[in-house]
């Protein structure tokens, strides 16, 4: 016989498995710019100059501490002493005024040998350190020919000048160096050489 008419659509069947994820689509068009944000709060004023000064001073203080630490390490490594004083050779080349300030900044002064025993001790120290000469605390900067110690006291009954010294015809040799022999020689104050500091022992 002839083919019959198509029947009604049946109910929807069960969902099948989800298929694989598709590939990444093309980049979309750029959106319109957003509305401008509100004005931000004013920043705080930086007192940078003051901070720079503080930091600068800290750097100076650190440098001074490092110098002091280096000085103390060197002192521990080598020092001479009498009953009431310590003596230390600073192996840094400085002129007389710089050497004087260096010793004073550390609580002492340039060495002032006022007797034979102290002079011999310092001379042996200079010699054993392999040096030829070093500044001591003696000068005639105030008045030519009138030598005074670094504490402003004049020469008394003791001196140990090298033969022919002090000899300063041009008037330029106003500071005193001790030679490794223990002899004194007047020298120009601007020469830069090693020097000897002395420190008074603290009484118990």
DSSP assignment of 133-172: EEEEEEE-SSSTT--EETTSPBP-S---BPTT-S--TTS-
pTM of the entire predicted model: 0.62
- Rounded to whole angstroms, what are the CA distances from 22 to 25, 26, 39? 8, 12, 45
In this predicted structure, what is the pLDDT of residue 40? 81
* pLDDT for the residue 91: 93
Q: What ranges do the domains of the chain cover?
A: 47-77, 81-200
- Average pLDDT of the segment spanning 19-36: 82
Q: Tell me which CATH code domain 81-200 carries.
A: 3.10.100.10
Q: Mind listing the pLDDT tens digit for each residue in 97-128?
A: 999 999 999 999 999 999 999 999 999 999 99
Sign, CA dihedral 147-149-155-161, equals negative
Instruction: List the beta bridge partners of residue 133.
Output: 179
Q: Which residue has the higher pLDDT, 166 or 17?
A: 166
Average pLDDT over residues 42-70: 78
What pLDDT band is residue 72 in, cutting at 50, 70 and 90? low
The region, left, alpha or beta by phi > 0 then psi within -120 to 50, assigned to residue 99 is alpha
User: Hey, what are 135's tokens?
Assistant: 């500044």
Among 21-30, 149-158, 166-175, whose mean pLDDT is lowest? 21-30
Closest CA relative to residue 155, chosen from 163, 143, 168: 143
Tens digit of each residue's pLDDT (9 = 90 or more) over 180-191:
999 999 999 999
pLDDT of residue 28: 82
């Amino acid at each position: 016989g002839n083919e019959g008419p198509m029947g009604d659509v049946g109910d929807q069947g069960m969902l099948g498995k989800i298929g694989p994820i598709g590939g990444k689509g093309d980049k979309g068009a750029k959106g319109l710019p957003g509305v401008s944000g509100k004005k931000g709060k004013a920043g705080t004023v930086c007192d940078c100059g003051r901070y720079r000064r503080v930091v600068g001073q800290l750097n100076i203080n650190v440098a001074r501490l490092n110098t002091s630490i280096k000085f103390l390490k060197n002192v521990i490594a080598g020092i001479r002493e009498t009953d009431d004083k310590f003596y230390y050779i600073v192996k840094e080349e400085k002129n007389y005024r710089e050497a004087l300030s260096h010793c004073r900044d550390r609580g002492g002064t340039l060495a002032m040998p006022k007797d034979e025993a102290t002079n011999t001790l310092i001379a042996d120290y200079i010699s054993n350190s392999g040096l030829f000469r070093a500044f001591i605390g003696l000068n005639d900067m105030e008045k030519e020919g009138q030598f005074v110690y670094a504490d402003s006291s004049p020469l008394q009954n003791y001196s140990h000048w090298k033969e022919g010294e002090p000899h300063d015809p041009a008037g330029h040799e106003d500071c005193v160096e001790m030679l490794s022999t223990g002899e004194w020689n007047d020298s120009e104050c601007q020469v830069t050489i090693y020097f000897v500091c002395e420190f008074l022992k603290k009484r118990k």
